[in-house]
Chain A
Amino acid sequence: MEILEQLTFLERGVIAGIIIGFLSPLIGAFLLVRRMTIISEGLSHITLTGITAGIFMSQSAFWLGPVNPLYTGLLFSLAGSLLVEKLRQIYKDFQELAIPIILSTGIGMSAILISLVQSSYTEWYSYLFGSIVTVTLSDLFFIVITGIVTVVILAGFYKELLSISFDQEFAVTSGISVKKINFLFSLLIALVITMSIKVVGILLVGAMVTLPVAASIQFAKSFRQVIFFGILFGEISVIGGIVTSYYLNIATGGMIVVCGVTILVVSIVVQRIIVRLRKTV
């Protein structure tokens, strides 16, 4: 904690970025194989509702003292994540339906809350598009803690998550509790989405979960490779994005996405070339 206090805001942003660049592709790999990457879009908007609710509470309920809105964001994100899981069960044959339901609910409620609170345009702007300049000490603390929780859960349940993602029926008959693991997975998604909000932005968190693994699946043969290259690409995008956005003074989230897309395009092209070469040889 004391070490964190001595950091400059740029250093804070970079550390936050490194954590996010590591964890987003990790969760993204599981979302990818479960065909659920789109969930990040729905959850980010419900997280916005939580953040606005947090700001609203700090402004209207003084006795609570200042609450970092990321915590209320996390609560909403978790509720949304569990709700998505529930909706996917209810609409078994139309599982994608869960996302627009959550997404529109999130935006609708956010709109109402935003109209009730007094906040500057720039504050919303940084939530929507991400900005390292606004990563406060308390934000960094939040990111470090949620990051540690995420790593611990993943280390404990990596095998179980993989098995369920591949073949749920078999997982059950090898003694894995699908309910428990799915709950933990919902928690993991909520944690990663919320921790990314400040740096990458609500509108762009989906990118960190999706782009690095979309690039790595181009040539990964094993699940481990998907994760390994996903993390590599994730870190390059985040650090590249943070550094360029800082020196050019532009939106961090935007630059991170641009880096991610560049890596994706390059890996698609390289993969094509490799396939061509193999054919001609």
Chain B
Amino acid sequence: MKKERHPLAIDVEGVSFAYNQRNVLEGIHLKIPQGSFLGIVGPNGSGKSTLIKSILGLLKPNEGTVKLFGEEINKFDSWSRIGFVSQKANSFNSGFPATVFEVVSMGLFGKIGLFRFMTKKYKQKVYEAVKQVGMEEYLSENIGQLSGGQQQRVFIARALVSDPDLLILDEPTVGVDAKSVRNFYTMLKKLNNEKGITLVLVTHDIGAMSEYVTEVACLNKCLHFHGNKETFENKKEEMMSAMYGHDVNLLEHNHEHDHHHHDHDHDDVWRDKQ
């Protein structure tokens, strides 16, 4: 199909959004080519989740348009090409009687279609996705009885199970332990390299993120920066102080080291934990 060949996975044009007349996003232009791995950073309340929700059509922008794979968002219907892990994914009703298997299956429901049920082929897909996040031992456990990080992994599996072409993750590793975060990023990188899946990752973990992504976007109401990782690395301090202000911990950390030094430091920390 010609749609598949569309060069842009996401095309955000002049999007503005306001909650009760308070502007949260202003004039965002963001083009994300297929095959890129974009990291979105920005302080709390900077509108990252709002932008993600606008991209997914969960919120209607006051101005501007969003296209997914070249298709206007309100006409878009190839939802099985999209995988999403929400920031609030594990704020579900913890008494909900569903097993890990049932939750991950939900990632396939849009694809399977009405009046059809889970066949062997689909069940196999669920097993694979659950295995990919290392939760295969918990398949028939109740989702509410898992730890926060384990739940988060299940939600990642739910997003992966439909073999999406575009995976959007809003702080997916909150509550996931350091070693697993590392494994998770490695897995994302692999999906990106081997299958060419487009990835959008919102995170506060700038150090770890910048080792894996190909592009970075800095958001604080407006899009302050969007470019490849190398440019970001060069402008990092400038960007960070513009967005976060000077008295933020993250920056103090940065002031003490030069970049390379800092990155190596970081590497060692990860190695220790592995």
Contact = CB atoms under 8 A, between A and B. Distances in A.
Contacts of A162: 98, 102, 106, 109
Considering the complex of A and B, which 4 residue pairs feature the smallest CB-CB distances, nearest first? A175-B79, A174-B110, A175-B110, A159-B109
Contacts of B58: 169, 172-173
A166 B142 contact: no
Interface stretch (B35-43, B88-96, B208-216): B88-96
B20 to A, nearest CB: 13
Contacts of A169: 58, 84, 86, 88
A222 B140 contact: yes
B97 interface: yes
SS of A interface (majority):
helix
Interface stretch (A51-59, A70-78, A223-231): A223-231
B97 A225 contact: yes
Interface in A156-204: 156-157, 159-160, 162-163, 166-167, 169-176
B98 A222 contact: yes
Contact of A167 (B56, B101, B106): B106
Contact of A174 (B79, B99, B114): B79
Interface in B79-138: 79-80, 82, 84, 86, 88-89, 92-93, 96-99, 101-103, 105-107, 109-112, 114-115, 117
A268 to B, nearest CB: 15
Given A33-B93, A220-B97, A225-B97, A163 B106 contact: yes
Given A159-B109, A172-B57, A175-B79, A166 B97 contact: no
Contacts of A225: 97
Interface of A: 33, 35, 155-157, 159-160, 162-163, 166-167, 169-176, 217, 220-226
B77 A170 contact: no
Given A159-B112, A173-B79, A175-B79, A167 B92 contact: yes
B221 interface: no
A225 B98 CA distance: 9
A226 B97 contact: yes
Nearest to B159: A170
